[in-house]
Structure 1
Amino acid sequence: MARFSPRTLGLIGAILPLTGLTTAALAQFSGGYRYQTGQELYTHICQGCHMPDGKGASGAGKYPALAGDPKLRASLYPVLVILKGQKAMPSFSELTDVQIAAVTNYIRTNLGNNFTGPVTPEQVKALRSQAVQQKALSPG
Structure 2
Amino acid sequence: MRHFPLISSLCLTAGLLAGGLAPGAAYADSASAVAGKMQPLPDGEAIYRHICQSCHMPDGKGAVGAGAQFPALAGNPKLKSAQYPAYVVLNGFGGMPWFAGLLDDQQVANVVNYVRTHFGNHYTDALKPEDVSEMRPHLSGEEE
Name the TM-score, length of structure 1 as normaliser: 0.72
Q: How much does 1:26 deviate?
A: 6.6
Q: How much does 1:36 deviate?
A: 2.3
| Number of the residue aligned with 1:29 | 20
Unaligned runs of 5+ in 2: 1-12, 27-39
1:83–1:93 Cα contact (<8 Å) kept: yes
> Given the alignment of the two structures, is residue 57 of structure 1 paired with residue 48 of structure 2, yes or no?
no
Give the alignment's Cα RMSD to 1 decimal: 2.2
> Are residues 122 and 27 of structure 1, via their aligned partners in 2, closer, same or farther at CA, if it must alter by over 3 Å?
closer
- Paired with 2:130 and 2:78, the residues of 1 have a C-alpha distance of 21
SS at match of 1:58: strand
> Given the alignment of the two structures, is residue 79 of structure 1 paired with residue 70 of structure 2, yes or no?
no
Q: Which amino acid aligns with 2:20?
A: F
Q: Which runs of 4+ in 1 moved over 4 A?
A: 25-28
| Number of the residue aligned with 1:137 | none
The structure that is helix-richer by fraction is 1
> Are residues 110 and 26 of structure 1, via their aligned partners in 2, closer, same or farther at CA, if it must alter by over 3 Å?
closer
| Number of the residue aligned with 2:118 | 110
What are the within-5 Å matches in structure 2 for residues 85-124 of structure 1?
85-94=92-101, 95-124=103-132
Unaligned runs of 5+ in 1: 1-21, 135-140
Structure whose CA Rg is larger? 1
User: What is the percent sequence identity of the aligned residues?
Assistant: 48
Q: How many pairs are equivalent?
A: 109
> Given the alignment of the two structures, is residue 41 of structure 1 paired with residue 32 of structure 2, yes or no?
no
